[in-house]
């Protein structure tokens, strides 16, 4: 078990180092990060002074090492736009994004399970078809389009909920609904397929033969084995969640990290963008590591 943990941890650190290198190198795609970060009308002397001040004239390896060491101390640089430490700006927006992400993942997982079970138990019947239609449309509709349609109908026509903003539960409904729709579909499809698969297994037939009620067979015996793949996939989805949060937060004026990222990109505030990418990747790596470790604890075969 210890060996597995050490191996898994080392692996995560390696991936994060790779991500840091990727993010760091992206600035050098055009050759000159100083010119990239300065306003277009900056003079040559100004760019040269900025290049020297930022240390862009040092060897690449030295710069990367310096970046890494600073990042380990929590120093991700100064925002070019806000003239504040990047980390503070991100931490300020973190609660809003965390609230949105957790709500979206939460409702989508629950709804996905309910839909998936209904479809699997009634496989091939009309309720199955209806659920598959819902799942299909959830995956087909881009999050920003769904968000705009919800604003149009629910906010502008019906005046039920605010069009955007932050602060009350009413503000949370539409953004969470838009962001979660895709994951709801993904969970539904996964639960359906893996439950249909498990319901065919011998041990389920045994459980039925013992005379257990169908509800108990499905929930206690079959669903338990359908859980693992859903957990893995939801953990993998974590990377795309921030991508979806980007547009969702923009549409609903949600003061989170996604909107901060869009603003940073539009302002060419690259230190801020780099830190957000690194933070997103770290979250992803940590969540996936925890899921893997949880598996290893629950299922000794994984440790091999």
Partner 1 sequence: MPEDWLKEADFRIGLGLLLLVGLAAVAGPFLWQIDPLRNSLLATFRPPGSVAAGLWHPLGTDQIGRDLLARLLAGTRLSLGIVLVSGAIGAVIGTAVGVVAGYLRGWVDTLAMRLVDIQLAVPFMLLILLIMAVLGASLVNLIVVLGATSWPVYARTARARVLEVREMEYIESVRSLGASAWRILWRHILPNILPGQIVLLTLDLPRLVIMEASVGFLGLGVQPPTPTLGNLIGEGRSFLLNAPWLVIWPGVVIAALVVGCNLFGDGLVRRVEGRET
Least CB distance to partner 1 at residue 211 (A):
28
Residues 186-205 vs partner 1: string with x where CB under 8 A? ---x---x--xx--------
Q: How far is 3 from 11, CA to CA, in rounded Å?
A: 12
Kindly state whether residue 265 participates in binding partner 1, applying the rule CB under 8 A. Answer: yes
Kindly state whether residue 247 participates in binding partner 1, applying the rule CB under 8 A. Answer: yes
Instruction: Report 154-173 residues binding partner 1 (CB under 8 A).
Output: 156
Helices 86-121, 126-140: axis angle to 10 degrees equals 160
CB 107 within 8 A of CB 292: no
Kindly state whether residue 15 participates in binding partner 1, applying the rule CB under 8 A. Answer: yes
Kindly state whether residue 98 participates in binding partner 1, applying the rule CB under 8 A. Answer: no
Residues 26-45 vs partner 1: string with x where CB under 8 A? xx-xx-----x---------
Kindly state whether residue 129 participates in binding partner 1, applying the rule CB under 8 A. Answer: yes
Least CB distance to partner 1 at residue 210 (A):
28
DSSP for 67-106, please give it: HHHHHHTT---B-TTT-SBHHHHHHHHHHHHHHHHHHHHH
Residue 85 phi, psi (nearest 5): -60, 135
Kindly state whether residue 272 participates in binding partner 1, applying the rule CB under 8 A. Answer: no
**What contacts 76, CB < 8 A, 6 or more positions away?**
70, 85, 86, 87, 90, 271, 274, 275, 278
Binds partner 1 by CB under 8 A, chosen from 130, 233, 262, 302? 262
Enumerate binding residues for partner 1 (CB under 8 A). Answer: 14-16, 18-19, 22-23, 26-27, 29-30, 36, 123-125, 129, 136-137, 139-145, 148-149, 151-152, 156, 189, 193, 196-197, 236, 239-244, 246-247, 250-251, 261-262, 265-266, 268, 270, 273-274, 276-277, 280-281, 284-285
């Amino acid at each position: 078990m210890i060996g597995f943990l050490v191996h898994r941890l080392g692996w995560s650190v390696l991936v994060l180092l790779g991500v840091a290198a990727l993010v760091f190198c992206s600035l050098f795609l055009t050759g000159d990060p100083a010119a990239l970060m300065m306003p277009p009308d900056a003079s040559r002397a100004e760019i040269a002074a900025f290049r020297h001040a930022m240390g862009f004239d040092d060897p690449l390896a030295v710069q990367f090492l310096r970046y890494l060491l600073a990042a380990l101390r929590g120093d991700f640089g100064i925002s070019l736009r806000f003239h504040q430490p990047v980390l503070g700006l991100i931490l300020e927006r973190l609660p809003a994004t965390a609230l949105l992400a957790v709500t979206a993942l939460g409702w989508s997982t629950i709804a996905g399970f309910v839909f998936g079970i209904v479809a699997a138990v009634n496989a091939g019947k009309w309720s199955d078809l209806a659920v598959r239609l819902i799942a299909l449309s959830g995956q087909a509709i881009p999050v920003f389009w769904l968000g705009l349609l919800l604003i149009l109908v629910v906010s502008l026509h019906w005046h039920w909920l605010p069009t955007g903003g932050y602060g009350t539960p009413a503000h949370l409904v539409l953004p969470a609904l838009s962001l979660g729709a895709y994951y709801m579909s993904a969970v539904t499809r996964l639960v359906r397929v893996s439950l249909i698969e498990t319901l065919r297994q011998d041990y389920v037939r045994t459980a039925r033969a013992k005379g257990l009620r169908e509800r108990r067979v499905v929930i206690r015996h079959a669903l338990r084995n359908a859980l693992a793949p859903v957990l893995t996939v939801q953990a993998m989805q974590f990377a795309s969640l921030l991508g979806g949060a980007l547009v969702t937060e923009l549409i609903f004026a949600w003061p989170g990290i996604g909107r901060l990222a869009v603003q940073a990109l539009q302002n060419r505030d690259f230190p801020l963008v780099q830190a957000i990418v690194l933070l997103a990747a770290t979250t992803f790596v940590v969540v996936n590591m925890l899921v893997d470790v949880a598996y290893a604890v629950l299922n000794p075969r994984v440790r091999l």
